[in-house]
Every structure is written in structure tokens, then in C-alpha cells.
Structure 1
Amino acid sequence: MWRGCAVERPEGRMTSQTPLPQSPRPGRPTMSTVVELNVGGEFYTTTLGTLRKFPGSKLAEMFSSSAKACTDAEGRFFIDRPGTYFRPILDYLRIGQVPTQHIPEVYREAQFYEIRPLVKLLEDMPEIFGEQVSRKQFLLQVPGYSESLELMVRLARAEAITVRKSSVLVCLVETEEQDAYYSEVLRFLQDKEKSVVKFGPWKAALDSSDLLYCLAMDIKAQGYKAVYDLFLVYAAKTTKIYFNIYSFTFTWW
């Protein structure tokens, strides 16, 4: 439900307790009520009909006749969202124009306002399909991906005190058989006080190089600088060869 907020203003101006204007009654040839908006400091003028174009959306609910809207000092209806990306939303509501710039940002706002037709159109675009659909479905095949990624960063930060670089080992275990195969070397590394994070096993046929790329991409998205390379293990008690162990090196300063 759209919540209101109290705003003091000279008498005669619209307040948050003033109900939204009613839409014209059916059959009457009058134009829809014009409203002024303040979206995160950006000002827009439109009609209630445009804002209510998709019944059931959060935006339509914000401007339903029963809603108590928050207004700014000039009586404009206020929405506390990024104003820059509201214009493409408004253009779509007005004329059905699909945005061609700032696609991820507009997609986020379309999701917030729950404008489902626009969300679906944006999800078909390469920028959103690749990241939000294809890559997300890929990572869903890796159990505990987000938790293991968070552990990687936490371990790297814990080792970063007074040093410029810190490293975390990553073991990619693709199958249940590999899980048993790598258990010995993981114990060996932990005995050597190495920080190791295991990903997998997983059931789908995933490419380990793609998973490494996703890890590097998500670490970078969090603002960290990290590179990875193959880590060779020399265990005195075994002659096995381990190919799926990598060292992620974080640089801090």
C-alpha cells in the first residue's frame, strides 16, 4: 500500500491528506486529470490515466483514488525513486516506447513499479537476458553459490591485515566422484592453514571455466580487485593430479 507523509504548506495547497483526483466517469468526454510529479528531484507532468494504465501495478496503486500520496513543498506528488529512469517508464506508459538506453536501470525501476509488460519486454533484450536470465539460471545449478562467494570475500578480507595482497583457494568439484577424489587434498591444504572454498558438486553439465568467469565477474561487481590462476598442489603423500584448484589473489592497496 502506498503510504503518505505529512508535509506542512500554506493553506490552500494540496497536502498528503488530500485525496487523489478522481478519474472521469465512464462515458464523459473529459480529459484525464493532469498531475505533477516529483520523482527523486526530477519533475514530470502527466495524467492519472497514464499512471493508471496497467491496473494492478504498484504505480497504478500509488495513484488509486483511495491512496494517500506523499507530496513535496509545492504540492507535487513525490516518489522517492531515481528520477532519471522514470522518463523511459513514462514514455512506455504514454506511447509504448521501449527504452534503448540504461536498460539494467530501467529494468530495475520497471520491476519496482510492477509494470509487467515492460519487464517482460526488457527481459528479452540481450543486456537483461544474458545477466538476469541465462547467467542466473546457470548459477542456480551450483548449490550454495552466493554463500560460497561471500565466504571467499570474507576469508580474503580476514587475511588482508597489514598486507597488500591476500589469496583464497577455490576448488571446483563437478561431480560426486570428484568430491571424494578432492577430499584428501582439501584436508591437506587445510592442514597447511590455507583458506579454501569449495564449489559443487553440481548435477548439470556446467563448464568450470564459465563458473570461474562468473566468480571473477561477481567479485569485481562488489568493488574488489582480484585475479585468478591455476594452483598446483604438491602433496607428499599423494601422486594425484588436481586440475580444478585455483588461487584468487585480492589486491587491497
Structure 2
Amino acid sequence: MLLGFLVLTVYRALMSLTSTPQNMRPSPPTVSTVVELNIGGQIYTTTMGTLRKLPGSKLTEMFCSSTKACTDAEGRFFIDRPGTYFGAILDYLRSGQVPTQHIPEVYREAQFYEIQPLVKLLEDTPQIFGEQVARKQFLLRVPGYSENLELLLRLARAEAVAVRQSSVVVCVMRTEEEATRCAQPLHSLEARKMPVVKFGPWKVGPEIKDLLYCVEMDIKAQGYQVSCGSYYLDHAHRAKVTDCFHIFTFTWW
């Protein structure tokens, strides 16, 4: 009897040493919830951990907010954005992969979702640097560029009544001296009711050919079919204003 009691006591002691209290046992690793997303009709599968990876981003805000997320008929989280380039956003969040294709489109989505590290990386690419930094600074030197571009389009549309093509004359004056020389030809064109848009003068700014390239590119970016050429004044004015007058011709049908 005594031997049996001793064996039982030793066994209980060993069990107390090898067992761990419930509240002291290590917790199992947290598994991030797998979710399906419907981004503008395209379906993506990822995890909450990936979506919440960057504190301060719009995605983190969307999926950490107490506000109930929008869902589609299948119960998937729905975001009303183009879905084509969202995969590139997920690839960056998953592995830090920076896209090498469709840079401008991914850049816009990264801005929308406020993925700031990716935004900064894309701004260093030639495509975004050229458009957002170099060209933008270039055009800031031209007073009233956006307003003049809008005026040019309004005049072209006003002239496009029952005609296949319409034209607008553009006068580019880099300096005050050129503006003075252009005054008389401009007065003559206005007397003939020719639609004219004036750019300049500016103190330090772009070359005329570069400015005209920007104007043409920005018009075509809005879906217009346009071409640019030199506008030939009469002989009395031509020599005084070489390279200042140009014509933009719009084809409508």
C-alpha cells in the first residue's frame, strides 16, 4: 500500500511539472482573414493583413473602419474604382514589387488609395517625372496656359458649324518686343473676325516649338483630332513676326 501511494504521489508531481496552465500556454499564430474584393467588376483575393499593411492608407482606413463596408450581391467587398490596375497595388503591398508597365494608370490608383511609398517610387520613373515634374514646371512659366488652352477649344468648337474642319490661329509671343511687333497683325486678324488665341509674353520660358508641342499633345489627350502648322501672314507683316503665328486645324468628321 505504501509503495503504491508513493508511486501515485511521484506521478502527480511529474504531471504538475510537465503541464502548463491554460492562461500561460502560447497563443496560436494569428491567421489573417482571407477576403474577396470586387474592384469595379474584377475579382481579387487577398488577406486583411495585406490590405491593412500601410497605416494611413485609404485601404487601411476602409478595412479598419467601424463603418460597414459596401458589398456586392455575393457578399464580396466592393470598391467602385477601375479594377484593371488594382493587381499592381496588391503586388506592391504583398512584396514591395514596383510595376514596370502601365505606370501612369497605376500611379493614379496609388494616389487614390494613398499608398504613399508607391506614389513616391513611381514619381521617380521617367514617365511620371517627365509629366508631373518636368513638363508641369515647364508650363508654369507660360502665363494663363490652361485658360488659353480652354479658349482655343471653345473657339474651335464654335467654328465647327456645318463644316468638316475648323481652325484657330495661335500667336506665341515670347517677349514684350515680340508682343509689340505682333500687335498690328493681331489687329488685322481680329478685324477679319479670325479666331485667335495668344500665348505670352513670359520672362523666362519655353521655346515656341516646345510650347506648341504641349498644346497639341494636351488637345489630343482630350480626344480631339488636331494638327498644327505655320500660319502665313501677308508679306507686309511676315518678316516682323517670324515663327509667332501658327494655326491649329481640327477635323470633326
> Structures share a fold, TM > 0.5?
yes
| SS of the residue 1:211 aligns to | helix
Distance in 2 (CA, whole Å) between partners of 1:195 and 1:155 is 6
CA contact (8 A) 1:232 1:242 kept: no
CA contact (8 A) 1:36 1:77 kept: yes
Alignment of 1:190-209 (within 5 A): 190-209=190-209
Give the TM-score normalised by structure 1. 0.84
Aligned to 1:161: 161
What is the letter of the counterpart of residue 241 of structure 1? K
Give the drift of 1:239.
Answer: 7.7
CA contact (8 A) 1:165 1:252 kept: yes
Aligned to 1:241: 240
What is the letter of the counterpart of residue 199 of structure 1? F
| SS of the residue 2:72 aligns to | coil
| SS of the residue 2:241 aligns to | coil
| CA separation of 1:239 and 1:252: change in aligned 2, threshold 3 A | closer
Give the drift of 1:135.
Answer: 1.2
CA contact (8 A) 1:71 1:78 kept: yes
Q: Does 1:36 align with 2:36?
A: yes
Aligned to 1:68: 68
Higher helix share: 2
Alignment of 1:91-110 (within 5 A): 91-110=91-110
What is the letter of the counterpart of residue 205 of structure 1? G
| Runs of at least 5 residues in structure 1 that lack an aligned partner in the other structure | 1-26
Distance in 1 (CA, whole Å) between partners of 2:168 and 2:50 is 53
Aligned to 1:3: none
Aligned to 2:115: 115
Alignment of 1:139-150 (within 5 A): 139-150=139-150
Counting aligned pairs with the same residue, the percent is 67
Alignment of 1:160-239 (within 5 A): 160-234=160-234
Give the drift of 1:197.
Answer: 0.1
| SS of the residue 1:174 aligns to | coil
What is the letter of the counterpart of residue 162 of structure 1? A
CA contact (8 A) 1:156 1:166 kept: yes
Aligned to 2:82: 82
Give the drift of 1:67.
Answer: 3.0
Give the TM-score normalised by structure 2. 0.84
Q: Which of these two proteins has the greater Rg computed from alpha carbons?
A: 2
| CA separation of 1:198 and 1:239: change in aligned 2, threshold 3 A | closer
| SS of the residue 1:180 aligns to | helix
Deviations 1:11-50 (A, max 9, x none): xxxxxxxxxxxxxxxx973122222211111111212221
| SS of the residue 1:106 aligns to | helix
Deviations 1:40-67 (A, max 9, x none): 1111121222111111111111111423
Give the drift of 1:184.
Answer: 2.3
Distance in 1 (CA, whole Å) between partners of 2:83 and 2:226 is 34
| CA separation of 1:169 and 1:203: change in aligned 2, threshold 3 A | same
94-103 vs 46-55, which moves further: 46-55
Q: CA RMSD in A?
A: 1.7
Give the drift of 1:240.
Answer: 5.3
Distance in 1 (CA, whole Å) between partners of 2:136 and 2:88 is 25
Q: Does 1:127 align with 2:127?
A: yes
Distance in 2 (CA, whole Å) between partners of 1:211 and 1:127 is 19
CA contact (8 A) 2:142 2:205 kept: no
CA contact (8 A) 2:34 2:45 kept: yes
Distance in 2 (CA, whole Å) between partners of 1:114 and 1:96 is 15
| CA separation of 1:112 and 1:231: change in aligned 2, threshold 3 A | same
CA contact (8 A) 2:138 2:205 kept: no
| SS of the residue 1:63 aligns to | helix
Give the drift of 1:209.
Answer: 0.5
Deviations 1:189-246 (A, max 9, x none): 101111100011122231110001111111111111211211122276x685212110
Q: Does 1:47 align with 2:39?
A: no
Distance in 2 (CA, whole Å) between partners of 1:122 and 1:51 is 20
130-139 vs 116-125, which moves further: 130-139
Distance in 1 (CA, whole Å) between partners of 2:70 and 2:85 is 20
